[in-house]
Structure 1
Amino acid sequence: MATPASSPPAASATLPASARPAALARWLWVVAWLIVAIVIVGGITRLTESGLSITEWKPVTGAIPPLNEAQWQAEFQAYQQIGEYKHVTGPAGMTLADYKFIYFWEWAHRLIGRLIGLAFALPLAWFWIRGAIPAGFKPRLVGLLALGGLQGAFGWFMVRSGLSGEMTDVSHFWLSIHLLTALFTLAAVVWTALDLRRLARVPGARPARLGGASAAIALVVFVQLLLGAWVAGLNAGHASDTWPLMQGRLVPEFDLSRGLGWALTHDPFLIHFLHRWWAWAAVAALVVLARKVRPFDRRASIAIHAAFGLQIVLGIATVWTGVSLWVATAHQAVGALLVMAAAWGMHVLGRRP
């Protein structure tokens, strides 16, 4: 007598046959690396003072750069109307060739943003139509798509803050919102990819949760990222080219004439000082995270240690080189990798049976 075929494990019934969590996870990793790319190009855009070179927001037609001399002249003339040109780059003798250089970086930054939108929206629609999205993940994926759209809007608000009146730079507050939203989106994409990868390996596995200890560590790291964004927005990296001392002293002189609150949010010397020393609080928090993670996933622990170690070295090198373009860019790039590593570690701690 033929033996009946054994029935599949009960856990597999929780996932439709058409669902492909592994494929979704691979797609989200591609999106995550595109976000890292835009963070890097965004850093270059900031360091080369290119962010105000395009004075209009054209989500669709703006993907095409000027194609002839007349179009280049029109863009350059629009740039010449803003405060940055009138008070900074114009008096310095900016030529059309100089303008084309800064235009390229801002255009490339916006173009990658558009590519990320397409790389997320089109596969999401395809997976949705195919019924390949596991139960419970549709709202999260739609939320990530909305977060990406919000990020683009924040980018324009940031640029617009530098176009009004006699402003010669963007608001460092809007810059921090723009950058931190990108890093939060990166962490959320990585977290979702890890949830899906685990679901592919363990059918029925529930999404990881952010525990109390991980949330506290995330808050410490968030403060450091916020200070770093303000350092970038205020050009505070130039406040000192020595380390560990600033101006020959541990605590530099800073402006308290308008109160401590203003100094904590606007004074480049104080913000630079806080960024370089709060880094050690972030390191301590990340060491705790790595030690907690090590028994469960040694690779994640190593990734956290490697990321914050390299980040500290690059931060000091950025100061010593007087904010060298490529050293400072590497510092921002590793910052994004650190966010990914931390999200990985926190996900390990938040996994549930």
Structure 2
Amino acid sequence: MEGHPEPASADSPALPLAIANWLMVIAGMVVLIVMVGGITRLTESGLSITQWNPVTGVLPPLTDAAWQAEFDKYRQTPEFIYEAGPAGMSLADFKFIFFWEWFHRLIGRLIGLAFALPLAWFWIKGAIPTGYKWRLLALLSLGGLQGTFGWLMVRSGLSGQMTDVSHFWLSIHLLTALFTLGGLVWTALDLRALHRDPASRPARLTRLSIATALVLFVQLLLGAWVAGLNAGHASYDWPLMQGQFFPEFDRGKGIGWALTHDPFLLHFLHRWWAWVAVGMLIWLARRVRRSERRASVAIHSAFGTQIILGIATVMTGVALWVAVAHQLVGALLVAATAWGMHVAGRREQQA
């Protein structure tokens, strides 16, 4: 395994800045797919495509017969039998939800190509700085895992009497995407530092960064479970829930079950753990303000906007585009936090 990056010689073919810029483009594509994934979830489109065809699935149905065949497959799913069918669904309705799932998968394929092909080119040209090949391969592997987790998530909603995907698989799918996003931003920042100074070493995680990441992870996990269980509909008022601060929830199956399944309790926890996350993010932002003011501003802007959108999502009854914006800014918050954590790591190295 390769060690830390070594100083590049004057005639080195390494292209750290070009690779960093490429990774930032990929990061932007990941933000886009997270947003489209939110639309897919909120429009109940995720189970509209019942098979995973990596090659032939690139094209949507092109004939009326092909559309009808896809619709017939969907009509055999529990979601259609127990929810969509009784509510009434036309072929035109099906085409709408099919589009969002197809588009979501298409972006995933494009991200894979946009990562793998330039990576191969940089590799062949010897342009990857020493010590970064393993990290780029790890990011590529995370992308592959993301596709696998996405299919396992879809498959969880196609059997038995499930009318939705498993909220556990949904959280794994989403959090893997956000972890990948953080890794892309972090690696790009390391490479930009290497471009400025060939003797630069990768930034390290500080204790504050680790604590902030763990608190934010819990909040993102809670958000994913809230989405997967449709728990955003548990209450449309704020700060109270149905007229009281602490909501009634099902204690009959034990607190462990309630903490992972009860929509009222999870909605409550997602609301108020957010302020713990805000506290940690403020702490991180203040620590990096002198070293990189832009990172501090990005963190403050992201969590401030996210809090407002979270409240608006509740009070609008989970209006589609407000909820989508909430998920989009959540992804941007992860990117901003990774930026701040990277600055903190460099600041500690230089102290």
Q: In the alignment, is the contact (CA less than 8 A) between 1:290 and 1:301 conserved in 2?
A: yes
* AA aligned opposite 2:231: A
Equivalence for 1:48? 43
Question: Do residues 161 (structure 1) and 162 (structure 2) align?
Answer: no
CA distance in 2, matches of 1:342, 1:127: 28
**Structure 2 partner of 1:295:** 290
- Kindly state the Cα deviation for residue 97 of structure 1 after the two structures are TM-superposed: 0.3
The alpha carbon displacement at 1:13 in A equals 4.5
Identify which range, 226-235 or 12-21, moves more after superposition: 12-21
Choose which of 56, 60, 65 in structure 2 pairs with 1:65: 60
Which residue matches 2:204? 209
Matched with 1:183 is 178
1:248 lines up with 2:243 in the alignment: yes
User: Which residue is equivalent to 2:20?
Assistant: 25
**Is 1:128 aligned with 2:127?**
no
Distance 1:12 1:224, change over 3 A: closer
Other-structure match for 2:88: 93
Give 2:249's aligned amino acid. F
Question: 1:134 & 1:15 partners in 2: Cα distance?
Answer: 13
Aligned pairs for 1:313-328 (under 5 A) are: 313-328=308-323
Q: Any idea what SS the aligned residue of 2:158 has?
A: coil
Q: In 2, Cα distance between the equivalents of 1:145 and 1:58? A: 20
Query: C-alpha displacement at 1:212, in angstroms?
Result: 1.3
Q: CA deviation at 1:142?
A: 0.5
Q: What is residue 338 of structure 1 aligned with on the other side?
A: 333
CA contact (8 A) 1:307 1:338 kept: yes
**3-state SS of 1:90 partner:** helix
Amino acid at match of 2:175: L
Report sequence identity in percent: 72
The question of whether the paired residues in 1 share the 8 Å contact of 2:7 and 2:200 is answered with no
What is the TM-score normalised by the length of structure 2?
A: 0.96
Matched residue type, 2:73: A
**Structure 1 residue 15 displacement after superposition:** 7.0
Distance in 2 between residues matched to 1:14 and 1:252, nearest whole Å: 63
Instruction: State yes or no: 1:329 paired with 2:324.
Output: yes
What secondary structure sits across from 1:264 in the alignment? Answer: helix
Partner of 1:235: 230
Query: 1:304 maps to which residue?
Result: 299
The partner residue of 2:73 within 78, 84, 89 is 78
- Structure 1 pair 15–158 and aligned structure 2 pair: CA distance change class (3 A): farther
Asked whether 1:263 is paired with 2:286, we answer: no
Distance in 1, Cα, partners of 2:54 & 2:131 = 31
Give the paired residue count. 343
Superposed CA offset, 1:103-137 (max 9, x none): 00000000000000000000000000000000000
- Whether the 8 Å CA contact 2:78–2:158 is kept in 1: the answer is yes
**1:181 Cα deviation from its structure 2 partner:** 0.3
The alignment's C-alpha RMSD in Å is 1.0
Q: What is the aligned partner in structure 2 of residue 4 from structure 1?
A: none
The answer to whether the Cα contact below 8 Å between 1:242 and 1:320 also exists between their aligned partners in 2 is yes
Larger Rg: 1
The letter for the 2-side match of 1:71 is: A
Is the CA contact (8 Å cut-off) linking 2:190 and 2:203 kept in structure 1?
A: yes
- Residue ranges of structure 1 left out of the alignment (5+ in a row): 1-10
Runs of at least 5 residues in structure 2 that lack an aligned partner in the other structure: 1-5
Partner Cα separation in structure 2 for residue 275 and residue 250 of structure 1: 13
* Residue type at the aligned position of 1:212: R
- After superposition, residues 110-125 of structure 1 pair within 5 angstroms as 110-125=105-120
- What is the CA deviation profile of residues 261-286 of structure 1, one whole-angstrom value per residue up to 9, with x for unaligned ones? 00000000000000000000000000
